[in-house]
């Protein structure tokens, strides 16, 4: 008896997806809930689970094809999969899973299944980490062997490669172009003396981590400072909706995260009701999901304001682009020691430039500048954030 393998139901905001990779070939044994293929949308990669145990039958859709909800991708022949002798495969990683590797590297259920079935040593993929995801193992197995360089037909001939954009990269590109073509974007700057904040973090980070089992970073301070500033200047937390301005009385802050597939912006919801520890846990969880490729569409949906931190890559100053339909985005940058005047004396202080890009159609320069000043005040005197003054 044959069972159809279909594209799972896609959310309303996603019209179609691209079949990126088949993980099984016709004739391969399949276990229920095993991932058969990857579907890439303009936001995330979705898995196609096997509905039953059986044997992979005809694959009706080729990799690279655009599909919609309910499209039949393949057929499964139901029944217990026969035992198949696994050949020894030359792979870019070790051929067996050792007991020591299993004890030293943490694996989730999906990653453990890949390691056992395809004889991968997780330790050889971990690269110093204590955890390896299924995606990391599959990427190592599927990595092409280095091919000899193509001979040049003429001395000095230059080579070029054409690589199609992924759906995510294409969607990012389109959203950025749309934002610049539909909004009147302007950027204003200020700088923050990070001395007091860095001292506070240094003093309490160990106690904080011991109490809450999560590290105390700088992002929670910036998110909390942003929320207090948004409360004072609500238009920065608003959208343009046709001929109206849609104000939000809640604070869902998107935090840009860089992944192998591109930039994604998971959303921390109702941040005004979260503690510093809640914020840090949420950020750490999203970072982990981003690395493992398990970010969901719900994680990326919505958001009333965004923050991006180019400083982690060494950026000293930039003009971020608004994440449409939002009206503003805050850019954080590298902390750099610089000479500044404090109480009439020149001292060396750790300074950071802040940039606010905003839609000038509804946000005036005065409001943008005052927003950054409010953030500066909260960050340079962190006690204000706790007292909400």
| Residue 154 within any structural domain of the chain | no
pLDDT score of 310: 92
Question: Are 7 and 55 part of one and the same domain?
Answer: yes
Backbone angles phi, psi at 340, to 5 degrees: -135, 160
Give 285-288 contacts, CB < 8 A, sequence gap 24+.
Answer: 286/255, 286/257, 287/257
pLDDT score of 8: 85
Question: Are 48 and 183 part of one and the same domain?
Answer: no
State the catalytic residue, choosing from 80, 142, 206, 364. Answer: 364
Cα distance between residue 282 and residue 268, in whole Å: 7
Cα distance between residue 112 and residue 131, in whole Å: 11
| Residue 161 within any structural domain of the chain | no
CATH number reported for the structural domain that contains residue 7 in this entry: 2.40.50.100
The three-state secondary structure class of 122 is: helix
pLDDT score of 9: 81
Average per-residue pLDDT in the chain? Answer: 83
State the catalytic residue, choosing from 28, 33, 360, 381. Answer: 360
* Number of domains the chain contains: 3
To which residue do tokens 């020591």 refer? 100
333 counts as catalytic:
no
- Which structural domain range is residue 47 located in? 2-78
Q: What percent of the chain stands above pLDDT 70?
A: 80
Instruction: Report which of residues 194 and 163 the model is more confident about.
Output: 194
If pLDDT is split at 50, 70 and 90, which confidence band does 314 have?
A: very high
Question: Are 353 and 277 part of one and the same domain?
Answer: yes
If pLDDT is split at 50, 70 and 90, which confidence band does 38 have?
A: confident
Instruction: Report which of residues 372 and 93 the model is more confident about.
Output: 372
The three-state secondary structure class of 254 is: strand
Instruction: Report which of residues 363 and 242 the model is more confident about.
Output: 363
Q: What is the DSSP letter of 130?
A: S
Q: pLDDT tens-digit profile of 111-122?
A: 676 676 666 677
pLDDT score of 156: 62
**Does residue 238 register a pLDDT over 90?**
yes
159, with CB counted inside 10 A (0-12, 13-18, 19+), is exposed
| Residue 93 within any structural domain of the chain | no
Question: Are 276 and 203 part of one and the same domain?
Answer: yes
To which residue do tokens 């301070």 refer? 221
pLDDT score of 101: 42
**Does residue 195 register a pLDDT over 80?**
yes
| Residue 175 within any structural domain of the chain | yes
Instruction: Report which of residues 274 and 123 the model is more confident about.
Output: 274
If pLDDT is split at 50, 70 and 90, which confidence band does 214 have?
A: very high
pTM > 0.85: yes or no: no
Q: Distances in Å between the alpha carbon of 133 and those of 80, 110, 124, 280, 293?
A: 28, 8, 13, 22, 9
| Residue 272 within any structural domain of the chain | yes
CATH number reported for the structural domain that contains residue 227 in this entry: 3.30.559.10
CA 362 to chain centroid, in Å, comes to 29
Nearest to 78 by CA among 59, 60, 57, 53: 53
364 counts as catalytic:
yes
- Whether the CB-CB separation of 11 and 297 falls below 8 Å is answered with yes
pLDDT score of 148: 46
Question: Are 137 and 34 part of one and the same domain?
Answer: no
Cα distance between residue 121 and residue 66, in whole Å: 34
**Does residue 90 register a pLDDT over 50?**
no
Question: Are 134 and 279 part of one and the same domain?
Answer: no
Instruction: Report which of residues 62 and 149 the model is more confident about.
Output: 62
pLDDT score of 160: 87
Cα distance between residue 347 and residue 342, in whole Å: 7
Question: Are 72 and 212 part of one and the same domain?
Answer: no
Q: Residue 387: which residues within 8 A CB-CB, separation 6 or more?
A: none
210, with CB counted inside 10 A (0-12, 13-18, 19+), is exposed
| Residue 156 within any structural domain of the chain | no
pLDDT score of 217: 92
| Residue 149 within any structural domain of the chain | no
Question: Are 199 and 107 part of one and the same domain?
Answer: no
Instruction: Report which of residues 157 and 197 the model is more confident about.
Output: 197
Question: Lowest mean pLDDT: which of 20-34, 68-82, 181-195?
Answer: 68-82
């Amino acid at each position: 008896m044959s069972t159809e393998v279909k594209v799972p139901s896609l959310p309303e905001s996603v019209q179609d997806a691209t079949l990126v990779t088949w993980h099984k070939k016709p004739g391969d044994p399949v276990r229920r809930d095993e991932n058969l293929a990857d579907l890439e949308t303009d936001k995330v990669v979705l898995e196609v689970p096997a509905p039953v145990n059986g044997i992979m039958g005809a694959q009706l859709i080729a990799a690279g094809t655009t599909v919609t909800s309910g499209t039949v991708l393949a057929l499964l022949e139901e029944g217990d999969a026969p035992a198949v002798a696994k050949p020894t495969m030359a792979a870019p990683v070790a051929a067996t899973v050792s007991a020591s590797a299993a004890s030293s590297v943490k694996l989730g259920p999906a990653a453990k299944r890949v390691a056992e079935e395809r004889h991968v040593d997780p330790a050889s993929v971990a690269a110093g980490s204590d955890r390896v995801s299924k995606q990391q193992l599959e990427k190592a197995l599927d990595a092409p062997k280095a091919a000899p360089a193509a001979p040049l037909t003429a001395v000095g001939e230059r080579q070029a490669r054409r690589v199609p954009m992924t759906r995510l990269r294409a969607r990012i590109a389109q959203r950025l172009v749309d934002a610049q073509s539909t909004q009147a974007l302007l950027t204003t700057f200020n700088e923050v003396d990070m001395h007091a904040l860095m001292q506070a973090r240094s003093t309490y980070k160990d106690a904080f981590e011991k109490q809450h089992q999560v590290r105390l970073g700088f992002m929670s301070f910036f998110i909390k400072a942003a929320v207090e500033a948004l409360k004072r200047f609500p238009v920065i937390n608003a959208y343009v909706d046709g001929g109206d301005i849609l104000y939000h009385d809640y604070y869902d802050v998107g935090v840009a995260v860089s992944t192998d597939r591109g930039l994604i912006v998971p959303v921390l919801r109702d941040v005004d009701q979260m503690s510093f520890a809640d914020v840090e846990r949420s950020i750490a969880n999203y970072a982990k999901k981003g690395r493992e490729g398990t970010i969901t569409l719900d994680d990326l949906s919505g958001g009333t304001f965004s923050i991006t931190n180019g400083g982690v890559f060494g950026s000293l100053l930039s003009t971020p682009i608004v994440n449409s339909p939002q009206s503003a985005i805050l850019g954080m940058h590298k902390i750099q020691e610089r000479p500044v005047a404090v109480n009439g004396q020149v001292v060396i202080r750790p300074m950071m430039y802040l940039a606010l890009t905003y839609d000038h159609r509804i946000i005036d320069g005065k409001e943008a500048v005052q927003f950054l000043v409010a953030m500066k005040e909260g960050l340079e005197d962190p006690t204000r954030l706790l007292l909400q003054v």
